[in-house]
Structure 1
């Protein structure tokens, strides 16, 4: 059986790593032939430029191009991301668009969508390809851990989502809140909650692909991976590092929609040219993590790293982080003020309890995925 995946797999470290993780989970636990549909092409290409102009308009597109391609640092980051995609992701030979997607129907027995926020109606259309509306009734349709990111919507959107879901053979979501909302729309308990694929893939499988550390082993550091945030949060990281005798390692200007100018001076060690696996390796080697990122939190949990969460700017963004902590019985580590006392008062994490919960969730998630791909209702 040949299955194609549709998800976000570019633009940031988490998206790329979750796409890789689902690919590897399918290879590890099934004999299914799997590849990811290429709906992007090269990061810097005429086709992608045209797509962005249609979606964002000239002003926003030029702003994003400026931040992504105007300096050697951003070019190095894009090249590192693209290199991982080229070497690690199994992509379709042909690039599909919304207009040409049906041309792939004779190549695959089914489709799987997820993970990431591909179903969030605030980020993408409820009529786009990630809802698999192009696939006919004869094709297997599976949702693995997409996040919808909202708990309410207008009647028209609700009807479209409900109609989309009724065409799926298997439905799951990454957050319990998303599953509750989708089941409410369906009027039935058809949607299961499963792990993001980055958590479902065992840690030893990540260890196998990690590169040599970028930093010397004698450098003790705080890793600050802040997608949005503000100057005050970054200054809090600096205060923590000074108090604990640590360096600050940062990835400047991660989100071109939320540029924080303080990033220009933030970080004793600023890294632009990190690959997705460098990102994981830096988490693995850190003494402490500061982040507002879902996937940075995921790998902090996988590698038993104490972390502090900044509330993420943007409606509904923090639900994902809170749900993740609740899964593993981690006391909320999202701080409510930029106060060092609050950071230092965060309690230690019981990693034994975390691992016990992770094992239960991992078995459940793998079972769902295998059963879905083998077309077994349980």
Structure 2
């Protein structure tokens, strides 16, 4: 049995971050290893943002005030603020993550990933720029990555901000590199001259509905649609259309992970209950990477709204297109909310997507087994 550390986005208050962290931990534990999460020191972001404080309390207050400005029921906004406030205390212990940070432990192996651990050209002060996310200053004997993503950091951005050579030096010191999308693979190949392996996000790689005993049964009497999106990303016009669409179908609108205009219920629940709610939904509308994954593993009709990157604004076009191409589900994407009615009426051949996922799960098991046994 080896001692294995995972360095990921495990402390981010986000259901996708939690479920991918839990899944990767479980996959490695199934190989017989002792697993712990490792923290990184948050550095100054590459893109300066004078409006963003580096003080954690100040950021929380700002986010809370920002939530109050959204067009959503006040009860939902207050519940969302409470959910964010309590998230770490309630859910991080389920990962074995303690309040005290775990920096630079002595390990046999370090696995960096999954999530956007390589997304270094951004202005988020919660993440900043940390060489540790590329394996620097580690006390592990062997360092690999699993399904690591550069997010919307591109090679031109790395060059523009003068980080390409530095990142290349870190990548060249890793024993094995696994990415989760084409953009990340391209960057690694250009910077190192080697083509990395590509693997599925852990939420797909681990069979949650087939293996996990943590997903509860929920008893909801009314039919509902899940709107899974970050607060503030669904436009006024989109929210109005979704409201009318749900009413035509006799569906209540449940929002999870964010507050939205016209929603009937904001659901404050555990990460495992999120999957239960997805399983019980009539259909889903999302504009997120993990929302698309939750919909897929729950075998539900869904539409993914694609957002394009504009300037330094955050878009999701590259990673969503890549994900849904791998699953054979590109027909579920649109940039126009009015396409939802047509898309969600089309049955999905989940037998075909399940075959693709199962093939990739075997590749994940093989990769982790091989790399964590040297």
TM range (shorter): 0.7 to 0.9
Which residue number in structure 1 is paired with residue 330 of structure 2?
Answer: 331
Matches within 5 A, 1:198-213: 198-205=203-210, 207-213=212-218
Is 1:171 the counterpart of 2:158? The answer is no
Q: Which residue of 1 aligns with 2:301?
A: 306
Shift of 1:186: 1.1
Task: Tell me: CA distance 1:244–1:81, structure 2 relative to 1, closer, same or farther (3 Å).
Answer: farther
Cα distance in 2 for partners of 1:193, 1:53 equals 36
Quote the offset at 1:345 in angstroms.
2.4
The aligned residue for residue 183 of structure 1 is 189
The answer for the alignment partner of 2:8 in structure 1 is 7
Partners of 1:6 and 1:315 lie apart in 2 by: 23
Separation of aligned partners in 1, 2:354 and 2:107 = 37
Tell me if structure 2 keeps the 8 A contact 1:3–1:34.
Answer: yes
- Return the alpha-carbon distance in structure 1 between the equivalents of residues 250 and 98 of structure 2: 48
Does residue 51 of structure 2 align to residue 54 of structure 1? no
CA distance in 2, matches of 1:119, 1:5: 14
Aligned to 1:259: none
Identify the residue that residue 360 of structure 2 maps to in structure 1.
361
- Equivalenced residues, count: 338
User: Distance in 1 between the 2:16 and 2:321 partners?
Assistant: 17
Gaps of 5+ in 1: 41-51, 255-262
Query: Aligned residue for 1:285?
Result: 280
The residue matched to 1:91 in structure 2 has which SS? coil
Unmatched tracts of structure 2, length 5 or more: 42-51, 69-76
Summarize the alignment of residues 1-378 of structure 1 with structure 2, pairs less than 5 Å apart: 1-9=2-10, 10-28=12-30, 30-38=31-39, 53-54=53-54, 62-66=61-65, 71-80=78-87, 82-86=89-93, 88-91=94-97, 94-96=100-102, 101-102=103-104, 104=105, 107-123=106-122, 124-125=127-128, 127-135=130-138, 139-149=141-151, 150-152=153-155, 153-155=157-159, 156-189=162-195, 191-205=196-210, 207-213=212-218, 215-216=219-220, 218-227=221-230, 228-251=233-256, 253=258, 263=260, 265-271=261-267, 273-312=268-307, 314-339=313-338, 342-346=339-343, 347-375=346-374
CA distance in 1, matches of 2:223, 2:208: 23
TM-score between the two structures when normalised by the length of structure 1? 0.81
Do the aligned partners of 2:92 and 2:98 also contact (CA within 8 Å) in 1?
A: no
Distance 1:180 1:274, change over 3 A: same
CA shift in 2, pair 1:95/1:335, >3 Å: same
Q: Is the 8 A contact 1:5 1:35 kept in 2?
A: yes
* Aligned equivalents of 2:97, 2:67: Cα separation in 1: 23
Whole-angstrom CA distance in 1 between matches of 2:241 and 2:323: 24
Cα deviation, residue 65, structure 1: 4.6
Pair 94,4 (structure 1): closer, same or farther in 2 beyond 3 Å: farther
Deviation at 1:164, TM superposition (A): 0.7
- For residues 99 and 229 of structure 2, the distance between their equivalents in structure 1, rounded to whole angstroms, comes to 34
Structure 1 residue 237: deviation in Å?
1.8
* Pair 1:287–1:72, CA change in 2 (3 A): closer
The CA RMSD over aligned residues, in Å, is 2.6
